[in-house]
Structure 1
Amino acid sequence: MMTPTHLLVLDLETRPDSALLPADRDPAAFPKPIQHEIVTLGFLLARIERDGQGERYTVRKLGAASIADRSERELLAGFWQMIDKQKPRLVTWNGRGFDVAVLKQRSLIHGLTAPQWHRTDPRYGYDYRYQVNWHCDLMDVLSDNGASPRLSLDEAARALGLPGKWNGHGADVAEQAQAGDFAAINRYCEGDVLNTFVLYLRWACFSTRMTAHGHNATVQNLLDYLERERGERPHVGEFVDRWQASDRPCPLFVNEPIGEPGPQPPEAHLRSEDVV
């Protein structure tokens, strides 16, 4: 059976597709997935590596692509090509309820195919809700598939000491796109991707997919990557600064049990209040 080789954290920003909205629709009603035009596709791609009995992740790229640079069809085709090439575990927040539904339904409009997505075992592959190896929808997982109230991304992120939605809101995307401010949309989308990635790391540690050392090593790798990007992308530096300034009980690193292999995170990034 195939196993994922990469982790792909995904977030979409969309706007209503006026050509598909019914004339008599309630203006306050949220459009259905097929009625959403993709504006920006944000992602973080990381390589999955073994770390003792668990996994660790090495960040390869954080990015966002928008309709300012390519058509919606090209954004969709690029996403499915990434699935085909990297064979990733997809990580989303409400991806089953929205993002992946938009990707699938908008792909029907453009006549696209998704070979690798449908090559996985249908019982345990991307489309199987109760298996997180190929698609982990964190919002669904953390609510026990709807048994408990669902958290918003901002609620979950802020509870753990992450910045949350500090640099925008989805309700502003349509107006920003109309004004041509796609750079602001991309920055906001990348922020959501970073929040989702770190939330996944904490869940992966809690669920024993990662060891504490694997979690801390991955967090350090992410911090190092974002520091290198800070000069050209100040918003990722602001994400780090807000995250490190948090007074939550365990915002960055978790305690590594005595005897667990691997070094502690460097002192430059480690404060006593960061460790429980």
Structure 2
Amino acid sequence: MKPNPTETAPSPGPASPIDPAPPRQRRGPARDRHGAPGTPDTLLCLDIETVADPGLPAIDSDTFPKPCRHQIVAISYVEARIAVDPATGYERYMVQQCRSGGNEDWDERRLLAAFWRFFAAGRYRIVSWNGRGFDLPVLQARALVHGIPVQAWYRRGDRWNGYESRYAPDWHTDLMDVLSGFGASPRMGLDECAVALGLPGKAGEHGAHVAGQITRGDLAGVRAYCECDTVNTMAVYVRHALLCGKTDVAGHDASMRSLVDYLASEGRTRPHLRTFLDRWMSSSRPAPMFVGKVA
């Protein structure tokens, strides 16, 4: 359902004349419902890959499975520390790791349990592409199937700001949703947006290929593909942060430099990240990495 255009979406920061939240409720860090500080301090650019759950009765093959009917085979992410300039409030994103959760021999339940423990132990701003429509509903539905508690998702934040709020980008920024004006304009695919920015995008790969790769036993290839999607998402988020004023030109370029340096270092032993960086660096698109005069 499309949001009512007459409603004001709550957002962090000082109250304005049209902001429905009273000033006293907008001050200080957001807290979870037990009173502990809960403001996200780390980006988690997240993506999952799935196949149809083979243990459930078959349905029409032309119908895209509902969240509970997916079996998760890969959970990947880029993790980046959010550094805030105390003088300006602008953010920078310092990449710490890009990886897939668990080991290749883990079953879905173990993979999910480990992810939700990892999530609960940190203070993450989730960044996704269609995460509200797919990734998070699947992660939650499959936790429901396996009986895995995910209370950190539901109990953190406050009345206006938290993971469940569509209009709380400091908690979860679904880039596909945000860049469409929450459905006001046509939604882009990650590949479309990434390629427009000079990123490699999908580079010929697609989620529709995942089932075949799993059948062939190529889980390593699925994990590599999923990780590259998270790198695309991370780079698009940095450009979005510049667009909406969460960072400035210097912060944008420092964040991109952090991502590039990480890919160059990790690419020595992880070929898919090296290939991603090579394709990105060879892009002919305008300002594919840096927007300042000096990179």
TM-score (norm 1): 0.89
- CA deviation digits over 1:48-105, x for unaligned, max 9? 1113431111111100136732121121112212221111000000000000000000
**Is structure 2 residue 99 aligned with structure 1 residue 63?**
yes
The aligned counterpart of 1:243 is 280
1:76 aligns with 2:112: yes
Report the equivalent of 1:220.
257
The alpha-carbon distance between structure 1 residues 166 and 243, as it changes in their structure 2 partners (threshold 3 A), is: same
Paired position in structure 2 for 1:274:
none
Identity %: 47
Residue type of the partner of 2:175?
Answer: L
Of residues 67, 79, 82 in structure 2, which corresponds to 1:48?
Answer: 82
Q: 2:182 aligns with which of 140, 145, 169?
A: 145
Whether the aligned pair in 2 keeps the contact of 1:167 and 1:187 (CA below 8 Å) is: no
Is 1:37 paired with 2:71? yes
Q: Which residue of 1 aligns with 2:247?
A: 210
In structure 2, the residue matched to 1:260 is none
Which range is displaced more, 92-101 or 49-58? 49-58
How many Å separate the matches in 1 of 2:89 and 2:251? 9
Whole-Å Cα distance in 2 between the matches of residues 103 and 140 of structure 1? 18
Structure 2 match to 1:175: 212
Rounded to whole Å, the distance in 1 between the matches of 2:228 and 2:175 is: 16
Unpaired segments ≥5 residues, structure 2: 1-29, 31-37
Q: Look up the SS of the partner of 1:191 in the other structure.
A: helix
Which stretches of structure 1, 4 residues or longer, exceed 2 Å deviation after superposition?
A: 18-21, 65-69
The DSSP-based 3-state class of the residue aligned with 1:176 is: helix
Over 3 Å counting, the alpha-carbon distance change for 1:122 and 1:178 in structure 2 is farther
Shift of 1:184: 0.7
2:222 paired with 1:185:
yes
Q: Distance in 1 between matches of 2:251 and 2:100?
A: 26
Q: Residues 66 and 182 of structure 1 are in contact (CA less than 8 Å); yes or no, is this contact kept in structure 2? A: no
1:28 aligns with 2:65: no
Structure 2 letter corresponding to 1:186: R
Residue of structure 1 equivalent to 2:16: none
Q: How does 1:7-26 map to 2 (within 5 A)?
A: 7-21=43-57, 23=58, 25-26=59-60
Shift of 1:167: 5.4
Structure 1 counterpart of 2:131: 95
